[in-house]
A = this chain, B = another copy of it.
């Protein structure tokens, strides 16, 4: 963790914090090897970045004088729509998305998403939040992404997606098209990425009716957790 992310509950006053989260305590002590007088890079969830000076450290808490003066990095002008990944990959993808600066993530059903994936405890709000915080701590950002779950493809695409894509360019990653994915764009984007195996033609058709353009990044078929950073590196 390159940043210690404080929750509003950790703030005693505007410039005084007390960390009690066991994961963060263990990390600060064991990895940073912090002692009284050390400075740590801290941030407030959905707030600023800054510096925390360790003033007291015991078995159950670390007290910091904090100065939160620096704005977090700019969010990507992106809404990411992702076929629900298999549970094994969920944590990694949530972390990656948070690290890379995505702030709007829609996890959606698709023909090739196994129904059982929707049952995973990784989709409980608390577990999602935990992975997003880990991703933000890696990427040195404070703004929690919003994650939305959509268990039915067609109603989502027909009833909700038009409002989401309004005023953005909308792209869907699809190996079976000639159009190359653009790069280094400057505008707001909605990007859809299918599950392992991709969207089926019927789903691509529905997305195209919703103003999505199908684009490809070459012949190689990537796992979703590789495709997401690959596409974002190219696009932004």
Contacts and interface: CB of A to CB of B under 8 A. Distances in A.
Given A183-B183, A183-B184, A184-B183, A2 B230 contact: no
A202 B217 CA distance: 37
Nearest to A221: B2
Contact of A221 (B138, B226, B232, B233): B138
B140 A99 contact: no
Contact of A220 (B141, B221, B234): B141
B230 A217 contact: no
Number of chain copies forming the complex: 2
A169 interface: no
A138 B234 contact: no
Nearest to A140: B221
Interface string A70-93: 000100000000000000000000
A222 B183 contact: no
A219 B99 contact: no
Interface in A132-154: 138-141
A220 B101 contact: yes
A81 B221 CA distance: 23
Given A96-B226, A138-B222, 5 more contacts: A101-B220, A138-B221, A139-B222, A140-B221, A229-B229
